[in-house]
Amino acid sequence: METKDIMELSGDVIDLSELKGRDKIKELTLSGMLKNTEMLYSVEVESLILDNEDNTEEVRLNEIKGLKSLSLIKPYRNIRGLSLCSDLVKLRLNMYAPSSKDLSELSGLENLKELRLTYLKADSLKGIEGLKLEKLEIHNSKTLKDITAVEGLKD
């Protein structure tokens, strides 16, 4: 089995069978529509950058072993299990538009230290109270009205 520090796969369609035979990838960047997503669950991935707008196959984030850092770059479809990724330490969401209009989906990420939100489409930060964030960045969020949840962040 092989360990790789950094791996970047890009194209119109990315066949994840290329991950076969690998034990661990420190940083994996995927830019394009994913095929054979089941292969993603057979390798330990410490940091994942997903840059795919029109994914047809489901990606279950909570089934990715060893995931500590996650970046979702474009609006994303068929991404599941974010709220169950309790080992995440860093999270970057671009154009995040939760149906709840707040951040309640993130409330279970008890190990999260850094949260970066760009073009957030939510009215409130409700849901991050109680997290032990060391760094919170919010950029270009025109819909955000209520930031009182920041007061509830743990030291």
Per-residue pLDDT tens for 74-128?
Answer: 767 788 999 999 999 999 999 999 999 999 999 999 999 999 999 999 999 999 9
pLDDT band at 3 (very low <50, low <70, confident <90, very high): low
Please tell me the pTM assigned to this model: 0.92
60-84: buried (b, 16+ CB within 10 Å) or exposed (e) per residue? Answer: bbeebeebbbbbbbeebeebeebee
Q: Which amino acid is at 121?
A: K
SS3 102: coil
Residue 5 pLDDT grade (very low, low, confident, very high; cuts 50, 70, 90):
very high
Contact 59, 77 (CB under 8 A): no
Residue type, 80: R
Domains and CATH numbers, the chain: 2-152 (3.80.10.10)
pLDDT of res. 2? 64
